[in-house]
Each structure stands twice: as structure tokens, then as C-alpha cells.
Structure 1
Amino acid sequence: MRESTILFPVLIFLASIFLAQARNLNEVDCSSSCGDIHNIKYPFRLRGDPSGCGDPDYEFSCVNNKTILEIFPGKYYVKNISYTDNLLRLVDVNLANGSCSLPSGSLQNVDGFVQDVRYKGHVNYTTESRIRFIKCSRNVTLENQKAYNYTEVSCLRRNGTFIYAVVDGMYSNYNIQPSCSLVSVTPVDYHDDVYKSPSYEAIVKVLQAGFDLGWSVECRDCSLAGKNCGIGAKAWDTRPIIFQCEKDYKELTESEARLIVVGICLAAVIGLVLIVVVLVFVIRKYKKRKQLEKNMQNQQSSALSNSNSRTS
């Protein structure tokens, strides 16, 4: 039992070294390219790469010399990969050419979060914004003053159905108008002029520019283990951004609780004994010193008496 207790941490340590070396090998030996993207390496891979290259969860496809990332149900052109910042620069395939179209999918949910354990969402929090595509059965901009930031996508109007692009900043309150429903949510870089006075032409340019999406293999592993993963308290200014996995907290068993109580009681008894020993030592030392002082006084008194008797 004792040998297995010692051996287990050793095996974990060796496994971590092996995984680290395997990652390094993947980074060095496995590098792919597609069109303008020449640095596809761990954790990413291209579909068709050897099985030992990259992580299967971070696979791209190469179509017509364009690198494509699929996040159900959308497809995105990969414009850049930053391994320093752990960021991908993406553009929705339906919006890349400025054509009149809805996004291929909704990358974010209604609250603006990416529901994919591989990616932690739009990481540039200081410049984050999003555009919500809304479908309405009526022209809400004519009926409701609260819909001032609803910009109609007139080329998508069909049979009395109106499509609007709603620019939503990071701290904006989102209230959908009556007779409307959410179609999709697309993150974009924040532009003050677009936010204050949105026009569809300006929105199209913002959509064509794309957005940054962060990834974290460690956070993916943490989430798959059923734990919460978040950004560390002091990690906002670091590059890449450091994600932390929640610590394991397990309830004590009855035997463990008893051992803790016994340990506390034993420590209290030992502490009490030590206090008694110290007190006894101090008292004895005090009594001994007092006895020595008394003996010295007696000797001095005796010597004085003898001196007086001789004088007389």
C-alpha cells in the first residue's frame, strides 16, 4: 500500500513530462499551410494531416486555398493565428465578401457567450461588441422609438418579414422588441461610430473585418472534467491570457473527520503538557533562586555575628 502511494505521484509526473514532450514534437514536426495561413501547428491541424499532428478538437479544413473553422452550425474563414495571444482572427464565410446575407451560424448565445469548451469566446473584452440579427413581423423602427438602434437589412426583406442588425456593446442592455425573434449573434470589434450611429454599410464593413476568438487547451480539458474554468484574477494583462481550473474540493469521510478530531485533541494535550512542564521548570528555578538568596543572607548574618562577638 505504501509503495503504491509513492509510485502514483511518480507515474503522474512521468506522464506529464511525456505529454509535454509529445506537444513539443507536434509543434516542431507538424506544421501545415493553407492559402495565406502558413503556421498551422499544435494544437491546430488540417483535415488530412497525419494522426499524430495537432489535436483532433482543433481541426481546420482547407477549401479553395482558404482555411475554414467549423463551430456548429457556423463556418468561419481563419484570417490569422496568434500563438502568442492564443487568438484566432475569424470572418463568417457568409459575410466575408460584403454580400447581403445572414451569418452561417450563431457563434454566441443570447448572452454573448460561446458555448464551446474548446474556445473561451471573444477575448478582447475591452473592445468587445456584437451584432444581433433580429427577424420581425412588422417594421418596428416606425412603431417603436426604443428600436432606434435597429438597422434594417432591406435586401433580406421577404413577404412582410423584416431583418434587422442590432449593434450591441459589451455593457448594453438587450431588450428584444415585440413581434421579433433572435436569428443569430455575431461578435465584432467595437467601433464607437458604428455603435452611436449605425448604418448597414458601416455594419457590413465591421462584419467583414471579423473578430478574435480565444482558445485554451487546458481550459478545454478542465471543462471536459466537469469543472469550471475562468480567467485568473491577475491574468487579464498577461499574454496569452491565463485560464484557471477550479480546485478540487471533496467532502471529508467519517474516518478522516475522526482522525482530524483526534489529531486536534492530541495536539491540545501535548500543548497542555508542555505548558505544565514549562511552569514547573520556572517555579522550581524561582524557588531555587530564592533558596540561594536566603542561604546567602543567612551566611552574611552569621558572619556579621561572629565579627561582632570577636570585637566585644
Structure 2
Amino acid sequence: MDLHFSSRLCLFFFMITIHLVHFPTHVSAKDVQNLNCSAPFHCANLRNIGYPFWGSNRPEYCGYPGFELDCAGDVPKITIMDRAYKVLHINNESRRINVAREDYWDYNCPANLSNSSLNFSIFNYASDTRNLTLYYSCPASFMNNISGILLPNRFNCSIDGKNSNNYYFSWDSNSFNSSISSAIGAYFRSCANSVVIPVWQSTLRYMVNNLNSVNLTCALRVGFGLQWHANNRLCEECEQSNGNCGYIAKTGEFICYCPNGAYSSSCHSRTGIAASVLGTMVILGILLIVIQALIKKKTREDDRNVEAFIRNHESLAPKRYSYSDVKRMTKSFRDKLGQGGYGEVYKGELPDGQLVAVKVLKNSRCNGEEFINEVASISRTSHVNIVTFLGFCYENKKNALIYELMPNGSLDKFIHNDRNIKLEWKTMYQIAIGIARGLEYLHRGCQVRIVYFDIKPQNILLDEDFCPKKSDFGLAKQAQKKESAISMLHARGTIGYIAPEVYSRRFGGVSHKSDVYSYGMMIIEMVGCTKNLDDEVTDTSICHNLIYERIEPGNDFQFDGVATEEEKKIAKMMILVGFWCIQTNPSERPSMHKVLEMLEGSIENLQIPPKPSLFSAT
């Protein structure tokens, strides 16, 4: 028996027993609150709206935080993550809401070009929702470059009073091989701005066959679907007992308003002190009997959580394979490609002949949470510098993730001193830029900001053209707001690459700037500060001090392996950018967007960064 888990379980039951003997809350206001929450709620053109929505003449305690409706106009509006959406339809039975972005309601060219945002603690995209990307201010030669690859999905938009070249495109509605995807990505990156907007899958399918700006405007007005989560199970119990669902903002608890009082879950949940005491005695009597059984069921609960996640995200998650399928595609795990703390990676082949990498997860690592985390994060991505996720297996503790095969393996084998394989400086430079583009996409291009938290050479895979792709999203974390800090209970990442604020909050808050630090450590390592991750941190500090001395004013920049002036510029640029990224204070680090500007700009425009304080004392 897990003693730590048993203690927490006992505390959990103890809190339940205390809660059971409480008297019903808000008894003095039971009539007013029950009547207010049972009254019909009409908002603009929508009728008979129920919990969790509130607003206008419906009090906040009849709803749930994040579901306030603005009923002033012809169509209700809801604000999600500081962005206004028009509410087109609400289905209380299926708990679905159909919304459309207000700023794209009448015009495809709003003043503020930014991606759609969503609070995933209370909303999920409906299963039949797909992404549409709008690209603004593309070069005049854009159509000549992509002719033969894409249809001309063009729309009108005037920016600063001038007409510009603008296109819309959906990666979900097209299937390309890696070389064409790389070419398309390169062309689209030449556009000044891009905005990702969800739309219905059926709408997207119609647009592919009927391309014009009018259809784009109509598609954005039709909007997309969301599923809401607001104590759904408790509300269902409450309504089945003829109660009205509500919420206590002061304590953050669900409440059921009934004719005879307010209760924690349903109108039948407590009938008086006698029933409460009886319930307490029953729970205490069976506690010692059930605790062992609950411990045994803990693993099953993890499995159910994963299964529930797979069902809820069926449209996002790739194909699910059985364990026998995994054995068949890997020929009984015959060809091993690598091994790490997560498990082992084997070479495989899908039925259509595509070669894949199969990552078989260790049971000790894959406790459900990290499996869900990886599938949820990488399923939301589509980028040339992120490895393509093709499928997964979750079957009786036999868990595996299936990715496209990267023929050149991971970056670490090309940069460590104990290897004879060396890459040209130009190739190293392009790899650094590709990694930065992938991180910028995770931080700015996804529907939600994804912070990777495990940037290291072992997680950067290289295809046949040495194009870098990030893999292993097991430690990634989604941020609720683009500029908000991320709350974490424990440090995550690999020693040697973890940002200072991740393991000690005295250095600042954890955010996307933590990824910037890890990226800086890695490109300095790529240039020449190679190390064994088992070495002491002070060894890395000494190495960084020696490298920093070479870029200080008055010192002649010399570097082993640098033969030409062009290679010298590449090495110096990567070192300068790397030291900007590893500044101790997160606010002094550039964003990944700024990092790309620095790498792709002129070295003459780069200033020498201050020496990071963590290394200054060495």
C-alpha cells in the first residue's frame, strides 16, 4: 500500500465527512435565489438560456465565471480570453455553443491581427472544428511561387489605405509530403502577418471547392463550435432533482438552489442533521475496507482519464493502433533506434509503406498525465519544424507514440566532442533558425501558447535534408493567456538547459521566456560549448565564461573549426544571440520572434549582451 497516497485519501474522506455535517447554505435567501435562477433567461435573439450563462437581468450566482453574456445588441456576445465573440446558438442538452469572432463579422481585415484564443479550463473546440489561416501582406511574387502547389485562395484587404496580397489556407484540408509542406511553409513565412481562426469542417470543405472572398466572409460569420465544462455532472444531478444550478463566487463552489434551501450537489443531497451524521458514520465505517481497493483502482482511473481524453479529442488525435499493430509495424521491436528516460524508440513501417519512429513509453513515466499532455500538445500543432504525429497506442499499460521517421536522428550526435560526424557551419546556422521558427510557432502561432520546457539536442530530430523538428512534448504546458505566467508545482526539463526561474521563483515567473533560455543554452552548445549532461554545472559556467571573453570588446574573435570569414560571422552571431537568450532575468531575454530577427539580420546590428549574472560569479 502506498502510504503517501493513503494519507491523502484519508484526508480527502475526512474533508467529506466535515462537509456532510454542514447545514444548508444560504437558507435565508433560498426563495429569492431559487426564483431568480428558475426564471427564463432571454438574451438578445436567444431564448430560454440556462446555466452556466448569466448577464443582463440574470444574477451572477445563477451562472459560472467566464459565461457572462452581453445582451445589448441584436446578437448576444461573450468575452473569452479578452476577445469578443458573437453567440449564434446555444444547445443546453449537448452543452455546445456556436460562436463567431466579432472583429471578423463584417470585415476580413481588422485593425488588430491576432489568433483566436480559448480558455481550455471551461471550453474545448467541438469535434467538427478545423483551423483556417489568413495570411496578410504577402509579396507580389507570392502567387508565382506557389502556382501549381495551391489554388489561389485570395481575399481582399486594405492595410494602411493600400490594397495588399492576402490569402487564406487550411493545412487540415490538404495533404502534402514533407518537401511540399516545407515549400509552402517557406512561402507563407514571407507574408507579413497570419491569423488562425477556427471554422466548421463542413464550411471548410465547401470553401475548398468554391474559392472567393464572399465565401470567406460567410464562413467566418457561420463561426465554429465549442463544448463547455462548468461543473456539468453536478448541474445534471441538481436539475434532475428539480433544482437550479448556481455558483458561489466567494468560495468557488457549485451550489444547487432548491425550494427548501441551497445544497452542495442536488436537492436530495442532504435532508437534515440526522442524515448527515448517518452518512458520516457509514463513510467512516467503510473507509478502512475501501482504501485498499481504491489504491488498486488508481491505475484504472488513469486509464479512464486517458480514454475520456481520447473520446473528447477524437477529431484532433491521430489514428489509434492496437499493441499487436505496434508489434507488427516494428517487426516485434527488431530495430532499436535509441533509448532515454521516457523509454525506447524503434524503427517501424505503416501498412502504406511509410517509415515511422515508434516511441514505447515506460510504465513508470507514462502515468496517464504525461501521455495526455504529449498527445494534447502535439495534436494542436502543424509546422515544418515540429515532427508529425501519426498515431498512438494505449492498451493495458502498453503505450506508444508514433511519429514520422527522421533519417538523420537527433542533433546531439552531431555536436558532441566524442563524435566524428561534423556539420558545416551553414548547416548549423540553418538548424538554429529552424528550431527558432518551431518555437516561435508554439509561442505565437498555435491556438494556445505552448511552452515546450524540454529543449535540448536529444529532442531535436533531423530529416534527410537536416531540417530540424522538435519531438517529445511530454513536459510541454499550455498557457491560458499569451502574456501570463505559468503556474507550476515542480521544476521540469533537463539539467543544464532549465531556466533559473523554473527551479527558483526568486529569478522571476515561469513563461515562454523559459524556453528562450533553454534555446540559448543549446545554440551555444552547438557552437562549441559541448558537455556531458552528467558534468557539474560549474564546468558549463567556465565554458561560457571562456566563450564570452572572445566576444568582449578589444578581444580578437577566434574559434576552433572556423576557417572562413563567413563561418566566423555565423559562429559569432550564434554566440551573441545565445548569450542574449540566457540572460538571468527573464524580462531581459528576447522573444523567439526577436531571436529570429536577430539570426536573420545583420551581425553589425547585434549588440554584445551583458554577461549573465549566474556565470559572472564563476
Q: Find out whether 1:62 has 2:71 as its counterpart.
A: yes
> Which AA in structure 1 matches 2:230?
V
Map 1:204-243 to 2 at 5 A: 204-218=217-231, 232=308, 235-236=311-312
> Which AA in structure 2 matches 1:206?
A
Q: Give the equivalent residue in structure 2 for 1:90.
A: 99
Distance 2:36 2:227 in 1: 19
Q: Pick from 141, 165, 168 the counterpart of residue 168 of structure 2.
A: 165
Map 1:9-158 to 2 at 5 A: 9-12=16-19, 25=34, 28-29=37-38, 31-47=40-56, 49-97=58-106, 99-102=107-110, 106=114, 108=116, 114-120=118-124, 122-123=125-126, 125=127, 127-139=128-140, 140-145=142-147, 148-149=150-151, 151-156=153-158
> Which AA in structure 1 matches 2:227?
G
Distance 1:214 1:28, change over 3 A: same
Contact 2:71-2:77 within 8 A present in 1 as well: yes
> Which AA in structure 1 matches 2:89?
N
Structure 1 position 72, deviation (Å)? 3.3
Distance 2:44 2:82 in 1: 23
Distance 1:116 1:7, change over 3 A: closer
- May I ask how many residue pairs the two structures share in their alignment? 220
Q: Give the equivalent residue in structure 2 for 1:203.
A: 216
> Is the partner of 1:94 in helix, strand or coil?
helix
Distance 1:27 1:213, change over 3 A: farther
Contact 2:37-2:62 within 8 A present in 1 as well: no
Structure 1 position 216, deviation (Å)? 0.7
Distance 1:206 1:232, change over 3 A: same
> Bigger radius of gyration, 1 or 2?
1
Structure 1 position 199, deviation (Å)? 2.4
> Is the partner of 1:89 in helix, strand or coil?
strand
Q: Give the equivalent residue in structure 2 for 1:263.
A: none
> Which AA in structure 2 matches 1:142?
N
> Is the partner of 2:166 in helix, strand or coil?
strand
Contact 2:156-2:213 within 8 A present in 1 as well: no
> Is the partner of 2:144 in helix, strand or coil?
helix
Distance 1:29 1:162, change over 3 A: same
Distance 1:180 1:152 in 2: 13
Distance 1:14 1:203 in 2: 58
Q: Percent identity?
A: 14
1:146-178 Cα deviation digits (max 9, x unpaired): 762452222435547433222342676773623
Aligned-residue Cα RMSD (Å) equals 4.3
Distance 1:83 1:147 in 2: 43
Gaps of 5+ in 1: 239-245, 248-312
Structure 1 position 179, deviation (Å)? 1.6
Distance 2:79 2:95 in 1: 18
> Which AA in structure 2 matches 1:180?
C
Distance 2:224 2:12 in 1: 49
> Which AA in structure 2 matches 1:185?
V
Q: Pick from 179, 186, 198 the counterpart of residue 190 of structure 2.
A: 179
Distance 1:73 1:236, change over 3 A: closer
Distance 1:231 1:184 in 2: 32
Gaps of 5+ in 2: 1-9, 233-251, 253-301, 315-367, 370-618
Distance 2:149 2:136 in 1: 13
Map 1:228-307 to 2 at 5 A: 232=308, 235-236=311-312
Structure 1 position 39, deviation (Å)? 2.4
Structure 1 position 68, deviation (Å)? 0.3
TM-score (norm 2): 0.30
Distance 1:160 1:203, change over 3 A: closer
Structure 1 position 47, deviation (Å)? 4.7
Contact 1:32-1:41 within 8 A present in 2 as well: yes
Contact 1:27-1:42 within 8 A present in 2 as well: no
Distance 1:13 1:107, change over 3 A: farther
Structure 1 position 59, deviation (Å)? 0.8
> Is the partner of 1:42 in helix, strand or coil?
coil
Contact 2:134-2:167 within 8 A present in 1 as well: yes
> Which AA in structure 2 matches 1:45?
W
When structure 1 is superposed on structure 2, of 194-203 and 173-182 the one drifting more is 173-182
1:123-151 Cα deviation digits (max 9, x unpaired): 1x2x3322212123413123333762452
> Which AA in structure 2 matches 1:199?
N
When structure 1 is superposed on structure 2, of 181-190 and 228-237 the one drifting more is 228-237
Q: Give the equivalent residue in structure 2 for 1:307.
A: none
> Is the partner of 2:153 in helix, strand or coil?
strand
> Which AA in structure 1 matches 2:145?
E
1:226-251 Cα deviation digits (max 9, x unpaired): xx98770674599xxxxxxx78xxxx
1:1-40 Cα deviation digits (max 9, x unpaired): xx9887433234578x979xx9x95995254212211123
Distance 2:12 2:84 in 1: 48
Distance 1:194 1:72 in 2: 28
Structure 1 position 81, deviation (Å)? 0.7
Structure 1 position 67, deviation (Å)? 0.7
> Is the partner of 1:64 in helix, strand or coil?
coil
1:249-293 Cα deviation digits (max 9, x unpaired): xxxxxxxxxxxxxxxxxxxxxxxxxxxxxxxxxxxxxxxxxxxxx
Contact 1:35-1:67 within 8 A present in 2 as well: yes
> Is the partner of 1:132 in helix, strand or coil?
strand
Contact 1:43-1:54 within 8 A present in 2 as well: yes
Distance 1:25 1:135 in 2: 51
Distance 1:155 1:107, change over 3 A: closer
Distance 2:207 2:75 in 1: 29
Distance 1:115 1:172 in 2: 30
Structure 1 position 64, deviation (Å)? 2.2
Distance 1:148 1:18, change over 3 A: farther
Structure 1 position 57, deviation (Å)? 2.1
